[in-house]
Structure 1
């Protein structure tokens, strides 16, 4: 939500460049130093930033318009919203569901987990964040002492099964 005191405040359009002068990111802020501290704490690409430029606008609205034009016409690898160069949504596997989609279809998803005995990974920005699993599996994880202990038990068991199969005559490992 935009605070009303920011609407008429001078706002900077900023551009961030790497050491070769390639444009990395375009944004707006009324406090560039604070914004850059925020980027440094949250953006994995921040260490590549070597040069910054500022273009001040009389109002936030004017800066937003300039930002939209810049993002639409200047290729950057890290701007997503409004950028024609931004990659499309990550391709998800059939057992993966974006968190936003899971929220919209939670009842359907839970029914699939319960009745079809499926497990789904909830993803955000292409990374797995959590899993929805049948209740019995969740209870076994709990009985094992939590996810870390259950994973160790399962890894040990699967590892011994693989070793047993490899030791059988006529079984070869494909590379």
Structure 2
């Protein structure tokens, strides 16, 4: 067991201005964690109040967190929630933006080898935000006048099912 597992850990609850429970989490440093949420979570502007309870160890806080999520059903927790639908599995041609950042070199190598990689968001729907395409394809799209022109040409040559 690491020394961090034995460190005092906060379990926190985040509420909106009506008292609705938005999220439950654990951390060693609540202020730093909330700053990270503020930078990455679309629901963060809805947070109006925070309640923190401290546990003697991370293991105790983790157990309390799982129990609280299952019992209190916060709106935005996915892990350990019995009601939250899971994001669909990624297709082999997809990568999330955060994974792209962590695996940039290998992603570019895949595109260089002819693969198109769709960059999808982390939502349950995995909406496509952008794509990394092989250079040859990108240059062809530019040569025909851009994406709209390329789509029009392809529609003329690809049968509709």
TM-score (norm. length: structure 1): 0.61
Which 5+ residue runs of structure 1 have no aligned equivalent? 101-109, 160-175
Please state which structure has a larger fraction of its residues in helix: 1
1:1-175 map, 5 Å: 4-90=2-88, 98-99=94-95, 121=118, 123-125=120-122, 126-131=126-131, 138-143=135-140, 149=142, 153-156=146-149
Secondary structure at 1:99 match in 2? strand
Larger radius of gyration between Structure 1 and Structure 2: 1
Aligned residues: CA RMSD: 3.7
Q: Give 1:142 deviation, angstroms.
A: 2.5
Are residues 74 and 97 of structure 1, via their aligned partners in 2, closer, same or farther at CA, if it must alter by over 3 Å? Answer: farther
TM-score (norm. length: structure 2): 0.66
Q: Give 1:98 deviation, angstroms.
A: 4.7
Are residues 53 and 98 of structure 1, via their aligned partners in 2, closer, same or farther at CA, if it must alter by over 3 Å? Answer: same
| Structure 1 ranges of 4+ moved more than 3 A | 95-100, 118-124, 129-133, 149-152, 156-159
Are residues 47 and 152 of structure 1, via their aligned partners in 2, closer, same or farther at CA, if it must alter by over 3 Å? Answer: farther
Are residues 157 and 32 of structure 1, via their aligned partners in 2, closer, same or farther at CA, if it must alter by over 3 Å? Answer: closer
Which 5+ residue runs of structure 2 have no aligned equivalent? 97-109, 153-161
Contact 1:97 1:123 in 2 (8 A): no
Contact 2:94 2:117 in 1 (8 A): no
C-alpha distance in 1 between matches for 2:80 and 2:93: 24
What's the CA shift string for 1:40-59, capped at 9, x where partnerless?
Answer: 11111100000100111011
